[in-house]
Structure 1
Amino acid sequence: MRRRTTRRRRTSRPGEKREPVLVGYGVRTASTRRRRRKGDGTPSVPESSGGVTTLEPAAQPAGRADDVRALAKPPVRKLAKDHGVDLLDVPCDGPVVTRAAVEAFIAGRRPTAASPAATPVRSVEADTRIPVKGVRKATAQAMVSSAFTAPHVTEWVTLDVSATMELVERLKADRRFAGVKVSPTLVVAKAVCLALSRTPELNASWDEAAQEIVLKGSVNLGVAAATERGLVVPNIPGADRMSLLELGEALADLTATARAGRTQPAQMSGGTFTITNVGVFGVDAGTPILNPGETGILCVGQIDRRPWVVGTPGAASGAGERIEARWVTTLAVSFDHRVVDGQQGSRFLADVASILRDPALALTF
């Protein structure tokens, strides 16, 4: 025989009001207060079970009961907690506090030092405008014209120039060069002039109207100089016909005139090939842009001490080779590919590098 069981239903006590519970919202206790609606400037009023209401001050009393709790979803409660917001202070439409209402309250309140949402305000300084005129304006226009007219190609080589540095020291001790500031740039300038004699295509220009290559009759060697007015490129006419001493004197005069701001426009026109030395700024190398009307430009990087493999190459085991600290630099040549092909550009760069590796090879040119 089956035993009949009965389930006892819980009955409400007399006078007890049942409250429906929504999961995650919490239970509203008897000690609640009416929430302000958006835009309502009236203070909150508590509700009593007897239906009689009394006005409550707008500010929450310090002794507010802990069982007063607003209805809100758990993610909304966490958002409010993270930003130090009391949900009872958040105005909203309806009985449940929404995320949008909390976010609006956070955005509209005045940040305080104790508020985690407060972020420091960074001061913004005004921009500075520098008028481009004179030498800087002319240089900018020339570089844009060159970059978008001539198809540039750049090649690189890194080499040991210890022999060149030794030559520089000997020249400094030579009485004939007593009044000349001898530097590696002087040897580079001479090497460029000698290399151009074997590859004259880099000492040329492109005639767009006639569609012809114009080989120049002499080397007007431009040397880029950084001045307070900007970058200027005066040139030395007939540099290929000068001795090393004459070339050194011309370089010294060119540099002094440029730094004093006395370079004349005529001295910056008619160049056929340019040398730019970025090594003085501690830079290893760069990709130079051609001066308008020229076909080649050589960039010289800084000359510093680096570990280098020296000695006579031996067998596959590397016998006869050793590592030493040597003076090393990087050269980069850019050229107009309409005038100079890869073979010509590579030969020119290789010739300059060979002379700087061993200046005695200059006697063979």
Structure 2
Amino acid sequence: MIRVFSLPDLGEGLTESEIVAWHVAPGDTVTLNQHIADVETAKAVVELPSPFSGVVSELHRPEGVLVHVGDPIVSFEVVGADAVDDSGDSSDSGAPAAPVPTKREANLVGYGPDAEREGRPKRRARPGSAACATPVPLATVTSPGLPVAVTSSVANPVAAAPGATTMERPRSTPPVRMLARDLGVDLTRITGTGAHGVITRDDVRAVGVTPETVPVADAPSVFGAPSGTRESRTPIKSLRKLTAAAMVQSAFTAPHVTEFLTIDVTPTIDLLETINTAGAREGAGRVGLLAVVAQALCLAVARTPSVNTRWDEAAGEIVQFHYVNLGIAAATPRGLMVPVIADADRLGLAGLADSLARLTAAARSGTTTPAALAGGTITITNIGVFGIDAGTPILNPGEAAILAMGAIRRTPWEFRGDIALRQVMTLSLSFDHRLVDGEQGSRFLADVGRILANPGLALTMLGATPGAA
């Protein structure tokens, strides 16, 4: 019986995903929960497990296309329990059947058992003509004296011409295959120079011409663009599309106010050196300044809870959070992501440091799940790592405040009645003026700064009321 698997709802209201890579081909035998594809939502790249055991009969969508939730993406020929529908009947029809929900479909996005991934069957050879399609002209770009025909040899990885010879798929990674599609490069005509013959980005760039570009005289460029290109175009999709929509919504919905505070953080830097001295945290990683700022923020939130709220326009209510789900803005190869540390106010300095290490590693490796990017109540962004002193960060939609950490610089500073070189940093706080008054925002920012300037004050602020420290 043929069972059709449609793109599932990956959560958080995401309605579409891009198929980054297929790990199966028609004719492959798969097992339940075997990793069959990588799909990229607007928030993360996730592994898609098979909901059935059987043989792949058809891939309905090729790599690199956006698919909406509910669209069929792959069909399986199944037998046994998987071939029985909800009424207990089985069907011998070869026609694709409508998607039938099964209990196994709950094991999606890598959350279900995955013990059968080891020892998966080797992929069968696929028809070579699918990857060796004849280049087809896409467009003609005309510039004075420079008419150029732009072609593409991007092949359809799903369909194959009858009677075609068979060959193994070129060895490459999903980002390289995506680059090849963008440049109109046929991977089957490239000899890989990477380890074990894997095709690299440089291999693709060496033969590729970017679509929709205008070649010019061969001359070096300070932009590092491929020789002969004047401009490039990239589709707006996935994370960049979501980020843009969220920032526009925030900027034109919440009335932003930004305040700045420059402080001497030398005592905090000295404290970190002590903590990170060999043996200070046996068996644990280093504690960074971001962890201290996160701890200071949690303490300050307890004294000014209005910064940890949400404006619910539909309900006509202000939602007060009695916990801190701390978002950490992270620059990744996919763009800006804001993974969340749940209940950060309960972790303490060591717990925050460990959570930050795991969170940052997952975000930069692209393994953060959509669930880990949701539910934030307040955010920190560290612009200081880029050498920036201060900025006006835009609120994450639904949050009342965002704190930016600037770069630490050795600066002449008044210290004990004299001038000395001190470690100085600027904090920037943007807040929603519907939820946070100027006095409240100022008090919150001053509390964070006071802790960083004198971390011992944190002991006096635990459980204290505003103005007690």
Aligned to 1:154: 258
Aligned to 1:256: 361
2:271 aligned with 1:167: yes
Among 351, 366, 374, the alignment partner of 1:269 is 374
1:227-265 deviations in Å (ceiling 9; x for gaps)? 000010001010001121111111111011111111111
Larger radius of gyration: 1
Quick one: distance in 2 between partners of 1:181 and 1:136?
Answer: 32
Partner-residue secondary structure (3-state), 2:263: strand
1:131-150 maps to which residues of 2 (within 5 A)?
Answer: 131-150=235-254
Aligned-pair distance for 1:333?
A: 0.3
Aligned to 1:181: 286
Among 201, 205, 208, the alignment partner of 2:310 is 205
Aligned-pair distance for 1:178?
A: 4.3
1:109-148 deviations in Å (ceiling 9; x for gaps)? xxxxxxxxxxxx9x99532112221111111111111111
Quick one: distance in 2 between partners of 1:245 and 1:159?
Answer: 24
Among 443, 460, 464, the alignment partner of 1:347 is 443
Which runs of no fewer than 5 residues in structure 2 stay unpaired?
Answer: 1-216, 220-227, 462-469
Q: 1:364 to 1:250 in 2, by over 3 A?
A: same
Quick one: distance in 1 between partners of 2:335 and 2:437?
Answer: 32
Quick one: distance in 2 between partners of 1:297 and 1:239?
Answer: 15
Aligned to 1:224: 329
2:225 aligned with 1:129: no
Quick one: distance in 2 between partners of 1:153 and 1:203?
Answer: 15
Aligned to 2:425: 329
Quick one: distance in 2 between partners of 1:177 and 1:185?
Answer: 20
Q: TM-score, normalised by structure 2?
A: 0.49
Asked if the contact 1:171–1:177 (Cα under 8 Å) also holds between the matched residues in 2, the reply is no
Asked if the contact 2:377–2:399 (Cα under 8 Å) also holds between the matched residues in 1, the reply is yes
Quick one: distance in 2 between partners of 1:270 and 1:340?
Answer: 20
Partner-residue secondary structure (3-state), 1:253: helix
Quick one: distance in 1 between partners of 2:243 and 2:350?
Answer: 31
Q: CA RMSD in A?
A: 1.7
Aligned to 2:300: 195
Asked if the contact 2:287–2:350 (Cα under 8 Å) also holds between the matched residues in 1, the reply is no
Aligned to 1:279: 384
Higher strand residue share: 2
Asked if the contact 2:265–2:423 (Cα under 8 Å) also holds between the matched residues in 1, the reply is yes
Quick one: distance in 2 between partners of 1:310 and 1:176?
Answer: 31
Partner-residue secondary structure (3-state), 1:224: strand
Specify the code of the residue in structure 2 equivalent to 1:134.
S
Number of residue pairs the alignment of both structures matches:
236
Quick one: distance in 2 between partners of 1:223 and 1:156?
Answer: 19
Aligned-pair distance for 1:211?
A: 2.2
Structure 1 moving runs of 4+ over 6 Å: none
Quick one: distance in 2 between partners of 1:351 and 1:220?
Answer: 19
Asked if the contact 2:263–2:453 (Cα under 8 Å) also holds between the matched residues in 1, the reply is yes
Among 233, 240, 243, the alignment partner of 2:345 is 240
Q: 1:166 to 1:207 in 2, by over 3 A?
A: same
Aligned-pair distance for 1:152?
A: 0.4
Specify the code of the residue in structure 2 equivalent to 1:334.
S
Among 396, 409, 412, the alignment partner of 1:304 is 409
Partner-residue secondary structure (3-state), 2:276: helix
Asked if the contact 2:274–2:280 (Cα under 8 Å) also holds between the matched residues in 1, the reply is no
Quick one: distance in 2 between partners of 1:169 and 1:136?
Answer: 38
Aligned-pair distance for 1:181?
A: 3.0
1:18-167 maps to which residues of 2 (within 5 A)?
Answer: 126-167=230-271
2:357 aligned with 1:357: no
Quick one: distance in 2 between partners of 1:183 and 1:229?
Answer: 24
Specify the code of the residue in structure 2 equivalent to 1:165.
I
Aligned-pair distance for 1:217?
A: 1.9
Quick one: distance in 1 between partners of 2:285 and 2:449?
Answer: 24
Aligned to 2:64: none
Quick one: distance in 2 between partners of 1:334 and 1:191?
Answer: 17
Specify the code of the residue in structure 2 equivalent to 1:217.
H
Quick one: distance in 1 between partners of 2:390 and 2:384?
Answer: 7
Q: TM-score, normalised by structure 1?
A: 0.63
Quick one: distance in 1 between partners of 2:311 and 2:410?
Answer: 40
Quick one: distance in 2 between partners of 1:261 and 1:250?
Answer: 16
Asked if the contact 2:310–2:320 (Cα under 8 Å) also holds between the matched residues in 1, the reply is yes
Aligned-pair distance for 1:177?
A: 5.7
Specify the code of the residue in structure 1 equivalent to 2:258.
T
